[in-house]
């Protein structure tokens, strides 16, 4: 748990930890310079909690991103759950999440939640529809899928990767460090299995002073879906063409991290190769949406040759992506640039694993990734 001037709602969250049917092994808190009653509330709780409560006040303010990483590094348990100071956990949270980790390959589990207001009045589910399958083996989720930190539990075997956290930037907010939720989700999807529970195992409180927050979340309407399709996404694609090699570089660094297990280092090599494939594809797609007509035609041909729409490719936009790129890129790019609204997100929902792409190797669990991608990132 990280805290900063959280006295208003902190007691309710701490009481919800006491009410867990499976108790936490410990509560590790990083306080980022609170000036209200937060520290005294934590001290009182530590005196009555039936599990260790370790509180560290940071000597200087870190910000919530760095504070979560530093606090996670001090945890001693096999499983680490991220806990916001102003939420409330369902009594079954820990027990149901922990059960997912009975499968050794699971590196991260995340769950649904209920959005509530400051008085805990219900607003909506956090996820109206499941954002992922119940079980996703490594490198099978769409490339830019991410989860929210307050819903996540990770296996401690991922913690050595935090040594490289200062070197990466958040691709949803490129001017900041990568949030812990995005960081660990990226790692887990590339290195192991991710589990999702659609049960609402926490209350996510919206009260006007959230560091990061969200309003009511519902299924997008027909109009909203078409607005998304008609967004001018050329700059987004250009941004992703630059971000994919950075993600590849992160995994390449992890493949040489001596504190990582040999298995995770091998998988990091494969994840680096998979991410390296995306840079050229997004570069071509950006050109398809922004260049003059002959260059747009050349970009579409290049995307086809790159396998960007093939189900046999490791990553694909699929047949719908091809149709969209012909209509909104090749034919109507000028209209979209003039009338299309600005992108609503710095990621892409359409890039996914090809349905007939590289399969699991039955021997060692390795992925078959095109050799040219592997040679580009592995020395």
What SS3 class is residue 353? strand
Q: Which of 71, 75, 79 is nearest to 165 (CA)?
A: 71
Q: Where residue 150 falls among pLDDT bands split at 50, 70, 90?
A: very high
Residue range 301-356, pLDDT digits in tens: 999 999 999 999 999 999 999 998 998 888 887 877 776 666 656 678 889 999 88
Largest CA distance in the chain: 72
pLDDT at 41: 98
Extents of the domains making up the chain: 2-219, 233-377
Whether pLDDT at 375 is above 50: no
CA-CA distance, 311 to 296, in Å (whole number)? 23
DSSP 102-113: TSTTEEEEEEEE
Contact 28, 1 (CB under 8 A): yes
pLDDT at 333: 79
pLDDT at 173: 76
Q: What is the mean pLDDT of the chain?
A: 89
Residue range 97-115, pLDDT digits in tens: 999 999 999 999 999 999 9
CA-CA distance, 73 to 163, in Å (whole number)? 10
For the entire predicted model, the pTM comes to 0.89
DSSP 358: P
Residue 256 tokens read as 């040489």
Sign for the CA dihedral angle at 279, 282, 286, 287 comes to: positive
DSSP 57-77: E-SS---HHHHHHHHHHT--S
CA-CA distance, 165 to 69, in Å (whole number)? 8
Q: What percent of the chain has pLDDT over 90?
A: 74
pLDDT at 370: 55
Contact 227, 177 (CB under 8 A): no
Residue range 6-59, pLDDT digits in tens: 999 999 999 999 999 999 999 999 999 999 999 999 999 999 999 999 999 999
Class level of CATH domain 2-219: alpha beta
Q: Where residue 230 falls among pLDDT bands split at 50, 70, 90?
A: low
Beta-bridge partner residues of 334: none
pLDDT at 235: 86
Mean pLDDT of the 136-146 span = 94
Alpha carbon 88 to its chain's center: 22
Mean pLDDT of the 86-95 span = 97
CA-CA distance, 307 to 72, in Å (whole number)? 40
């Amino acid at each position: 748990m990280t805290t900063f001037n959280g006295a208003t709602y902190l007691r309710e969250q701490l009481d919800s930890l006491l009410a867990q049917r499976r108790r936490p092994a410990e509560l590790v808190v990083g306080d980022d310079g609170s000036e209200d009653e937060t520290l005294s509330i934590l001290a009182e709780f530590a005196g009555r909690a039936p599990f260790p409560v370790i509180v560290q006040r940071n000597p200087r303010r870190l910000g919530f991103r760095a504070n979560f990483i530093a606090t996670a590094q001090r945890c001693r348990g096999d499983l680490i759950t991220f806990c916001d100071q102003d939420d409330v956990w369902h009594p079954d949270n820990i027990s149901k999440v922990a059960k997912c980790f009975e499968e050794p390959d699971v590196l991260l589990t995340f769950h649904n939640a209920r959005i509530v207001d400051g008085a805990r009045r219900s607003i909506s589910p956090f996820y109206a529809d499941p954002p992922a399958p119940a079980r996703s083996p490594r490198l099978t989720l769409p490339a830019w899928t991410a989860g929210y930190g307050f819903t996540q539990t990770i296996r401690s075997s991922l913690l050595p990767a935090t040594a490289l956290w200062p070197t990466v930037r958040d691709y949803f907010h490129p001017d900041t460090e990568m949030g812990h939720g995005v960081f660990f989700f990226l790692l887990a999807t590339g290195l192991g299995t991710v589990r999702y529970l659609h049960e609402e195992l926490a209350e996510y409180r919206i009260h006007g002073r959230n560091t990061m927050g969200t309003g009511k979340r519902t299924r997008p309407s027909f109009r909203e879906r078409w607005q998304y399709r008609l967004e001018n996404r050329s700059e987004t694609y250009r941004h992703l063409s630059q971000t994919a090699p950075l993600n590849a570089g992160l995994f390449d660094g992890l493949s040489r991290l001596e504190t990582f297990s040999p298995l995770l280092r091998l998988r990091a090599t494969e994840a680096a190769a998979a991410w390296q494939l995306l840079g050229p594809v997004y570069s071509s797609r950006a050109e398809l949406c922004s260049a003059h007509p002959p260059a747009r035609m050349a970009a579409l041909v290049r995307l086809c040759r790159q396998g960007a729409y093939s189900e046999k490719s490791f990553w694909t936009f699929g047949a719908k992506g091809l149709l969209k790129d012909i209509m909104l890129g090749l034919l109507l790019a000028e209209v979209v640039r003039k009338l299309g609204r600005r992108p609503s997100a710095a990621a892409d929902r359409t890039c996914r694993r090809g349905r007939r792409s590289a399969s699991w190797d039955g021997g060692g669990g390795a992925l078959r990734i095109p050799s040219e991608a592997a040679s580009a990132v592995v020395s």
